[in-house]
Structure 1
């Protein structure tokens, strides 16, 4: 057995970094060491075997032809071997924390590939046990703090328990204290703490969490200069933090810096880079936000082109394809609203239909696609003058009066409303949109039940837009308009009286310089 190990070591030496057979040689030596461990029970053999398997796996990145067939069985075997090694290192053994750490990492890796939550729970339990054996002053304490924090972050992502996220943040803070300026892993801890604070901001909206997140990413970026392998990730993370702060506070300089950082990240992710489509997507979203803020047409045009390129990198089967279809459709819809080019609207509708097919019942973003397609079909009624092309779809109804499009729009808005029950943050928007569509159909067909339903839906939306809600004036105004329409048809004085009172209430909520 010893001869086999030495022969494999010699073979590995003949396969330096870059050699086509290196991964196979790594695996061969790992297997020989594993077999010797099974016969002789030497813990160092299994430790080395695991590290060699990790090195071989690193040479088979995601997408490599040899990776899919190797990973599942390798992970199971890795766990079994680590469990065997742990049995040889009972309480009191000086290397027990090392075996606990390895076994925890193996369960974490299997969770990453299979998504079984009990593996993640086991990983956390083992990391906690390892941490107890690595008290303050232990050379590997920062590694265990980091690993336990990462596992808790993953569990928060799965279950949404805020105490996991809070503990993750505290562990990342503790790890950072053990990685002072000059430590090789300091930028890694800065990045992890920044990301966990950003996640907590998304949950609770505490401004200081977002500010701290941004400053930590800035510090990490200083430690990741040009040519650092993780620079593009930090550029992307800092850009996302600034984009979030812009969305919260509306400071234009945050958005401008966000765009420049996304451009810098994109330059570091050329064709073939696995994260190129993410950078294209993120830059497109930021340009869309700036167009919404300033209305510069070139920002919108660039946004559309970036979304097109991103879509090419997200073919059928890609997990992010529906997002890019949705984003490209929205940006084309915005350009139609600005310029009235009906081909943009045609494409917008087809893209929303394609996105909806990728978001079947049960998909978390199905309501968004239904909403967007419905709006494209019916909710941009007052954009431009009457078009000569009366056969175009969707919002072309407003140009040519294709009632089937409005019927479809209403059915889609009904479907959206079912997916946004009481308590959903967007329910009032869906009630409003469906109410507007019924009123539009009433003005074309004069069916009394349509205007009745429009009024009831506007009343329901108004209840969800209480005093102080930014859209309350809009709901007051729209309910007033529907009541006036019903008064015009039926002549009931109370409808007109209520309409006037609602208009007065809306007027009180609008500043003197308000556009309406």
Structure 2
């Protein structure tokens, strides 16, 4: 960083350490905040160059990671702006952002912002970036497989919003291409197969999805990726549950839960507990489902905060379980809290907010009907 003449040597050296760190400065939220602060300061003194592109790409990635914990739309906006500038700088300098993580990270940030805003333009832009990367990258290199996977995931999400069957068909086909592009033993094969499994599930190709998740699980196990193994077990359990194999699904969820606990992944643990509660609820076993939903909500409030979209979804799940049990006194306040949170975070007209409002309306109506019947 010899060109950073306007930055004090200590700051420049710390920025160098951040950029050269293989693991990233994410051991704590304070470390992430400090790294963002330092790189932002250094960026202001960095002319258009490979170094500026690197700083922009890293800032975009760090802000994306931070937004996953804070639900900050401002962080997502900044992440997208930095990543857009990074890809433009890379092109200006004669490279292509598809060869780096810039475009996959930009697509991830756009998908995340869509989850907050419901604005389809974010998904459409992500699709455009994915198509550009695929056209530029030759077959047989890992970057193309990852671009195919990212585009497949985006198209699946767009299908879930629009119902366009063409998007889903393409998502499945791209996922299959990505799996063919990578060598069987490649360390990224697990994520590629997991994404393909999700697309197959959306296409109701459940048996093929189960087979694909099992392949992903084998890859994660072979590469020693414990987090990936737990995620693959979680996905596999969901697919097994969809086919009515509840006992096998419960056993598989418990295996995933054990790994998440062993590696200290509290977020992954809450996801499994939430899904396991869903299996019990579907089987009519509310005595096991409700305590799991309760602990999941408590844990997510502590990990993510009360207004994170995932926490709001957990609050809704618990409310629905109480409603099925006929406990409207506990269900309705939770529905009210979920609606308030959705309106504040997503706005009154977001599809999720409208669904939340419908939940509350239904519960109030049923409570009134039951009170009238008893009276």
Counterpart of 2:278 in structure 1 is 330
Return the match for 2:22 from 58, 61, 68: 58
Matched, 1:414 2:332: yes
Q: Is the 8 A contact 2:54 2:86 kept in 1?
A: no
What TM-score comes out, normalization by structure 2 length?
0.75
Return the match for 2:228 from 253, 272, 275: 275
For residues 89-126 of structure 1, the C-alpha deviation after alignment (integer angstroms, 9 at most, x for no partner) is xxxxxxx2534422321321331343355454445445
| Bigger-Rg structure (1/2) | 1
* CA distance in structure 2 between the aligned counterparts of 1:133 and 1:326, rounded to whole angstroms: 43
| Aligned-partner SS, 1:425 | helix
Taking a change above 3 Å as real, the CA distance of residues 417 and 140 of structure 1, as seen in their structure-2 partners, is closer
Counterpart of 2:254 in structure 1 is 308
Counterpart of 1:111 in structure 2 is 63
Taking a change above 3 Å as real, the CA distance of residues 191 and 367 of structure 1, as seen in their structure-2 partners, is same
Counterpart of 2:344 in structure 1 is none
For residues 296-355 of structure 1, the C-alpha deviation after alignment (integer angstroms, 9 at most, x for no partner) is xxx2111111222333344598124443223223323444x5xxxxxx654334323333
Q: Is the 8 A contact 1:371 1:412 kept in 2?
A: no
Taking a change above 3 Å as real, the CA distance of residues 40 and 323 of structure 1, as seen in their structure-2 partners, is closer
Taking a change above 3 Å as real, the CA distance of residues 154 and 350 of structure 1, as seen in their structure-2 partners, is closer
* CA distance in structure 2 between the aligned counterparts of 1:203 and 1:167, rounded to whole angstroms: 15
Matched, 1:348 2:289: yes
Taking a change above 3 Å as real, the CA distance of residues 302 and 241 of structure 1, as seen in their structure-2 partners, is same
Return the match for 2:373 from 433, 451, 454: 451
Taking a change above 3 Å as real, the CA distance of residues 232 and 261 of structure 1, as seen in their structure-2 partners, is same
Q: Which structure 1 residue ranges, 5 or more long, are not aligned?
A: 1-33, 87-95, 247-253, 292-298, 338-343, 379-408, 443-448, 454-516
* CA distance in structure 1 between the aligned counterparts of 2:355 and 2:166, rounded to whole angstroms: 24
Counterpart of 1:84 in structure 2 is 45
Q: Is the 8 A contact 1:104 1:122 kept in 2?
A: no
Q: Is the 8 A contact 1:103 1:123 kept in 2?
A: no
Q: Is the 8 A contact 1:235 1:264 kept in 2?
A: yes
CA RMSD of aligned residues (A): 3.8
Q: Is the 8 A contact 2:168 2:199 kept in 1?
A: yes
* CA distance in structure 2 between the aligned counterparts of 1:135 and 1:153, rounded to whole angstroms: 23
Matched, 1:202 2:126: no
Counterpart of 2:50 in structure 1 is 98
Taking a change above 3 Å as real, the CA distance of residues 109 and 425 of structure 1, as seen in their structure-2 partners, is closer
Shift of 1:236: 0.6
* CA distance in structure 1 between the aligned counterparts of 2:253 and 2:105, rounded to whole angstroms: 36
* CA distance in structure 2 between the aligned counterparts of 1:61 and 1:113, rounded to whole angstroms: 11
Taking a change above 3 Å as real, the CA distance of residues 346 and 135 of structure 1, as seen in their structure-2 partners, is closer
Counterpart of 1:21 in structure 2 is none
Moved more, 204-213 or 424-433: 424-433
* CA distance in structure 1 between the aligned counterparts of 2:76 and 2:365, rounded to whole angstroms: 46
Shift of 1:431: 5.9
Taking a change above 3 Å as real, the CA distance of residues 190 and 345 of structure 1, as seen in their structure-2 partners, is closer
Task: Within 5 Å, give how 1:207-222 maps onto structure 2.
Answer: 207-222=165-180
* CA distance in structure 2 between the aligned counterparts of 1:217 and 1:61, rounded to whole angstroms: 31
Matched, 1:173 2:131: yes
Shift of 1:226: 2.3
Matched, 1:223 2:181: yes
Q: Is the 8 A contact 1:82 1:99 kept in 2?
A: no
* CA distance in structure 2 between the aligned counterparts of 1:37 and 1:135, rounded to whole angstroms: 21
| Aligned-partner SS, 1:424 | helix
Task: Within 5 Å, give how 1:389-428 maps onto structure 2.
Answer: 409-415=327-333, 418=336, 419=338, 424-425=354-355
Shift of 1:426: 6.6
Taking a change above 3 Å as real, the CA distance of residues 431 and 61 of structure 1, as seen in their structure-2 partners, is same
Counterpart of 1:255 in structure 2 is 206
* CA distance in structure 2 between the aligned counterparts of 1:267 and 1:322, rounded to whole angstroms: 24
Q: Which structure 2 residue ranges, 5 or more long, are not aligned?
A: 341-347
Moved more, 411-420 or 105-114: 411-420
Aligned length: 341
Q: Is the 8 A contact 1:262 1:279 kept in 2?
A: yes
| Aligned-partner SS, 2:227 | coil
Q: Is the 8 A contact 2:193 2:215 kept in 1?
A: yes
Taking a change above 3 Å as real, the CA distance of residues 414 and 135 of structure 1, as seen in their structure-2 partners, is closer
* CA distance in structure 1 between the aligned counterparts of 2:278 and 2:357, rounded to whole angstroms: 20
* CA distance in structure 1 between the aligned counterparts of 2:23 and 2:87, rounded to whole angstroms: 30
